[in-house]
C-alpha cells in the first residue's frame, strides 16, 4: 500500500485510559475523575486522553496521568485494547487501557491537579461511563493473577510496613480473608522481607514490628515467579 492510498482508509481515534489503584494501609482504592464535558458530563470516569501523532502509547499514558494528577514516576503496565464499535458515543475510538499502582501516603491528594479527581474504595466506586467498568474488572483480574504468581506490594506499600498491612493488601486484592498464620509462614518462606528493629506503635501499646522488602530478592522473585497458594 502506498502513502497516497491511506487517504481512502477510515480514520479512528486512539485513546489511553488509566486505571490507578492506590492502597492506604487498609483498603484498595481507585482514582476517578468527574467529567466536565459531554458526552456523559458530570459522571465518573477513568483518567484518560487521546494519543498525539508524536507519541507512542506509553508516552501518551504518562502524559495523560501527569497532566490530570501531577503524578510522576509510578508503576504502569499496559492492560488491554478495547475496540467495541460503539464504545464511545461521540466518535469511533479505540482505547488502550493501562493500570498503575501507587502508595497513597506518598502521593497525597494535594498533588491532584483537578478538584474533580477523587479516591474511592474499590468496592464502593460509582458506576463509570462507556466501558470503563469493564476496564476496571480486567485490571483487577490481572492484579489478582499477578498476586498469586509474583510478589505484590513494592509499589503499593510504604517503605516500612507491618505484616498486618501486607496481609490487608493481599486481602484487598484477592477480595477474601486470609489465615494470618498461613500468610506469615508463606511470606517468611519467600525470604523477601527484612524485619526491622522498629515498631509501629499506632495500632497497639505493644506495637507491631516493621518490615521492608529486600529489593534484590524481591526483583528476583518478580522475574522467576512463584505460586502463592493460601
Strands 13-23 and 93-103: parallel
How far apart CA 94 and CA 220 sit, in angstroms, is: 36
pTM: 0.90
Quick check: 161 and 210 in contact, CB under 8 A? yes
Task: Quote the mean pLDDT of the chain.
Answer: 90
Sheet of 208-213, strands arranged across: 161-162, 208-213, 193-200
User: pLDDT digits over 7-22, tens only?
Assistant: 888 999 999 999 999 9
Phi first, then psi: give them for residue 98, nearest 5 degrees: -120, 150
User: pLDDT digits over 67-105, tens only?
Assistant: 888 888 888 999 999 999 999 999 999 999 999 998 887
What secondary structure letter does DSSP report for 52?
A: -
Q: Give pLDDT, residue 103.
A: 86
How far apart CA 223 and CA 191 sit, in angstroms, is: 15
Domains of the chain, first to last? 3-149 (3.90.79.10), 161-224 (1.10.10.10)
User: pLDDT digits over 176-228, tens only?
Assistant: 999 999 999 988 898 999 999 999 988 777 889 999 999 999 999 888 887 77
Amino acid at each position: 500500500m502506498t502513502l497516497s492510498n491511506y487517504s481512502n482508509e477510515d480514520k479512528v481515534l486512539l485513546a489511553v485510559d488509566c486505571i490507578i489503584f492506590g492502597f492506604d494501609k487498609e483498603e484498595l482504592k481507585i482514582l476517578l475523575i468527574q467529567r466536565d464535558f459531554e458526552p456523559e458530563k458530570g459522571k465518573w470516569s477513568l483518567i484518560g486522553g487521546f494519543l498525539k501523532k508524536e507519541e507512542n502509547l506509553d508516552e501518551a499514558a504518562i502524559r495523560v496521568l501527569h497532566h490530570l494528577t501531577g503524578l510522576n514516576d509510578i508503576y504502569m503496565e499496559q492492560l488491554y485494547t478495547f475496540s467495541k464499535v460503539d464504545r464511545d458515543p461521540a466518535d469511533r475510538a479505540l482505547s488502550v487501557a493501562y493500570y498503575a499502582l501507587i502508595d497513597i501516603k506518598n502521593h497525597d491528594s494535594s498533588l491532584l491537579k483537578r478538584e474533580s479527581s477523587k479516591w474511592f474504595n474499590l468496592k464502593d466506586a460509582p458506576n463509570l461511563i462507556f466501558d470503563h467498568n469493564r476496564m476496571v474488572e480486567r485490571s483487577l483480574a490481572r492484579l489478582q493473577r499477578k498476586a498469586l504468581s509474583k510478589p505484590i506490594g513494592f509499589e503499593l506499600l510504604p517503605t516500612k510496613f507491618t505484616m498486618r498491612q501486607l496481609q490487608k493488601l493481599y486481602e484487598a486484592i484477592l477480595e477474601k480473608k486470609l489465615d494470618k498464620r498461613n500468610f506469615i509462614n508463606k511470606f517468611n518462606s519467600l525470604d523477601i522481607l527484612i524485619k526491622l528493629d522498629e515498631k509501629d506503635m499506632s495500632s497497639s501499646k505493644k506495637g507491631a514490628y516493621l518490615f521492608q522488602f529486600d529489593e534484590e530478592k524481591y526483583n528476583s522473585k518478580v522475574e522467576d515467579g512463584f505460586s502463592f497458594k493460601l
